[in-house]
Amino acid sequence: MTDAKIAELEAKLDKEINQLHEALESKGVNSRGVTDVFGRRFSVPVDAEHKATQLVLFNFDNPHNRAFHTSWFGFFSSFFSMFASAPLIVFMKKPSSLNMKGPEIGAGNMWAVSTNIVMRVVVGFLSDLLGARRGMSFLLLITIFPIFGMMFVTNGTGWIVCRACIGIALATFVTCQVWNSQMYAKKVVGFANATAAGWGNLGGGVTNLVMPFVFVGIYNSLSCPEGTPEVEKWGCNLVREDRAWRLAFLLPLALHLVGGIGVLTGRDLPDGNMKELESAKIKQKGNGMVVARTGFTNVNAWILTITYGMCFGIELTMNSIMAPYYHTYHGFRAETAGSLAALYGMMNLFARSWGGLLSDWSNKHFGMRGRIWSCWIVQTIEGVFCILMASVTLGMEAPHKRPMTQAYTYLEKIKGDTNAKWVPVNNTLVMECSTLQQSPPSDFMIEYDVDDSMITMHEPPFARDGAAANCILHQNAAGLCLFLMICFSLCVQASEGLTYGIVPYVSRPALGIVSGMAGAGGNLGAVVSIRAFFFSGNLRRDEGLLQMGIMVIICTATLFGIYFPEFGGMLFKAGGLGKYDPQLVKPPADYRGADSMDYSKKADTTKTADADVAVNAA
């Protein structure tokens, strides 16, 4: 056989082997046997920087998939605890419990997202220097204490302080996004970031769904603490309510503990933890001044800080207000209202991933300009759906600035009478067009032969000579509101995924701080929305939604200002703005990002492993 024939056969064999590798890698298999710099074999295919080129969902191995799964669960835990109060506020605010008024509740919601603004920037900065993994674990474990404190607060001030401290944990979003950006290649980073963050955001929906049922289960299991001063003052049922919502916080506490410990089982970067890589001279030691200066002087980072507030900030706002909205305005029990409100957050199960996929698809076909255009289109539609949801009930009467009136409840069966009817609840008042849920008075239970289960009370449709039928809760508007809320939510979550399809490109040397800036913008957007539209009670909920939707459309237009010299922007191609560079102060030419490795300086421990890989490949 001639040398030419042998060379031809070798080339053919190499081609077939590469095709086999590509087929296996497409299924998430590291068929080439690539190892990290210390000789540990990756379980998934990786690129030249050892970042995963596939997101294999049912794989929990270190480093890539362990980071993915522990990061989304850690973020999920923080979201769950952050909004655990929302579906239980109808019990917390009662005089027999914390005796809170509207302004105190609004302040609690606002402070819960406010404390996280600075923390997100700080955690982003520390992620560049110390690693996202340790930052996430610290946030989850330190906030166990205010969660525990929620079970012992005695007034609105204590409740606000605990909520503000619990809100610090939402900075786990930044660590989640930085960690996944460091673990996954650019071709899949949009999908990986969006899915991890989306599953984390899911905690806002799950807590609205789960906490009311946890509360009811605990309430039903508690016996009456007879003879105590609280029972003598408020009665057995109200005391049981108070104790039940407090004990319900054991669940978010447990989630934080599991999440904080689970994160520590991961690895900082694909090739190892930061300290060992820096000791082996494989990774450059971070420079805090360079990182901060680079991140804070990037125009694109500031624009994304604004626009992320119009998607993630809106989600935080909606998670705070929707359960009370469905309870008070549409007349649903707390469990039902929580379940309906949960649907807003539950869209995170897939909608944010859709946004990430759309971002990656747009990049494949239209480059970075496609990513930005997709983000602007979807987020603008988000604002439109917010306005449409508000418009459904604007012409109806709402429980807004109305006097107290006689409370009624609807009984399906009454002692001595099989006909269902509305009956007044003795010595109980409710705001007109509003809903109250509590156990009935003892004389009412005796009169109508009902137990101490909590019942809903509100003004019946025939009250005020039939004018009460115009109230939102009697207009059957919940179905259409729910449909538009889901459409609204789909766009919100997709916009979040689209935004973090752009963030990793802004500045690799300052990836953490840019992620932190954008994340902080999300919380700032929530503070602005809650304070402007849902704080003092001067606006109806639907009026607040209308104005919030208009704000989203206006602020989203700032995306037209994003420009990358090498990629272009929405209106200009690459180089279309001449010498303009959004990176106003550039980092030193030899400064690399926190996830950038120098593989020419591999540790001695990898020589044997590299030789084994070479033999296997041959």
Segment 588-602, tens digit of pLDDT: 888 877 778 887 766
Q: What is the mean pLDDT of the chain?
A: 89
441 and 552 together in one domain: no
Residue holding tokens 């503000």?
A: 164
454 and 550 together in one domain: no
**Among candidates 374, 379, 217, which has minimal Cα distance to 312?**
379
pLDDT band at 615 (very low <50, low <70, confident <90, very high): very low
User: Peptide bond before 63: cis, by omega within 30 degrees of 0?
Assistant: yes
612 has a pLDDT exceeding 60 = no
Q: Give the per-residue pLDDT at 13.
A: 78
Please check whether residue 110 is in contact with residue 216, taking contact to mean a CB–CB distance below 8 angstroms.
no
User: At how many degrees (to 10) do helices 299-308 and 541-556 cross?
Assistant: 160
Which has more pLDDT, 24 or 581? 581
Q: Give the per-residue pLDDT at 611.
A: 35
pLDDT band at 416 (very low <50, low <70, confident <90, very high): low
Over range 191-213, report the average pLDDT: 90
Q: Is residue 444 part of a domain?
A: yes
Q: How far is CA 553 from CA 110, 309, 610, in A?
A: 22, 12, 54
96 and 190 together in one domain: yes
Quick one: which H or E segment has residue 341? helix 334-346
pLDDT band at 1 (very low <50, low <70, confident <90, very high): low
Dihedral class, residue 568 (left if φ above 0, else alpha if ψ from -120 to 50, else beta): left
What residues form DSSP beta bridges with 423?
409
328 and 452 together in one domain: no
What residues form DSSP beta bridges with 408?
424, 458
Would the CA dihedral through 48, 49, 53, 58 be positive or negative? positive
165 and 197 together in one domain: yes
Over range 99-107, report the average pLDDT: 87
363 and 412 together in one domain: no
Please check whether residue 67 is in contact with residue 499, taking contact to mean a CB–CB distance below 8 angstroms.
no
409 has a pLDDT exceeding 80 = yes
507 has a pLDDT exceeding 80 = yes
Q: Give the per-residue pLDDT at 295.
A: 92
Q: Give the per-residue pLDDT at 604.
A: 52
Say whether 397 sits in a helix, a strand or coil: strand
390 and 440 together in one domain: no
| CATH code assigned at 258 | 1.20.1250.20
Q: Is residue 270 part of a domain?
A: yes
Q: Is residue 577 part of a domain?
A: no
pLDDT digits (tens, 9 = 90+) for 114-154: 888 889 889 988 888 889 999 999 999 999 999 999 999 99
Quote the tokens at residue 449: 């032969």
Please check whether residue 370 is in contact with residue 397, taking contact to mean a CB–CB distance below 8 angstroms.
no
Q: Is residue 6 part of a domain?
A: no
Domains held by the chain: number: 2
Q: Is residue 583 part of a domain?
A: no
Segment of 283-287, 294-298, 399-403 carrying the highest mean pLDDT: 294-298
Would the CA dihedral through 272, 273, 274, 279 be positive or negative? negative
228 and 353 together in one domain: yes
- How far is Cα 218 from Cα 225, in angstroms, rounded to an integer? 14
Tell which of 545, 569, 593 closes a domain: 569
547 and 428 together in one domain: no
419 and 481 together in one domain: no
408 and 514 together in one domain: no
Q: Is residue 594 part of a domain?
A: no
What percent of the chain shows pLDDT beyond 70? Answer: 96
Over range 531-555, report the average pLDDT: 91
Say whether 226 sits in a helix, a strand or coil: coil
- What pTM did the predictor assign? 0.80
pLDDT digits (tens, 9 = 90+) for 217-243: 999 999 988 889 998 888 888 899 999
Tell which of 467, 500, 516 closes a domain: 467
609 has a pLDDT exceeding 70 = no
Quote the tokens at residue 543: 């009026």
Q: Is residue 210 part of a domain?
A: yes
Range of the domain at 325: 64-396+477-569
**Among candidates 178, 238, 308, 313, which has minimal Cα distance to 593?**
178
φ/ψ (deg, to 5) at 568: 100, -165
Q: Is residue 249 part of a domain?
A: yes
408 and 391 together in one domain: no
Please check whether residue 587 is in contact with residue 287, taking contact to mean a CB–CB distance below 8 angstroms.
no
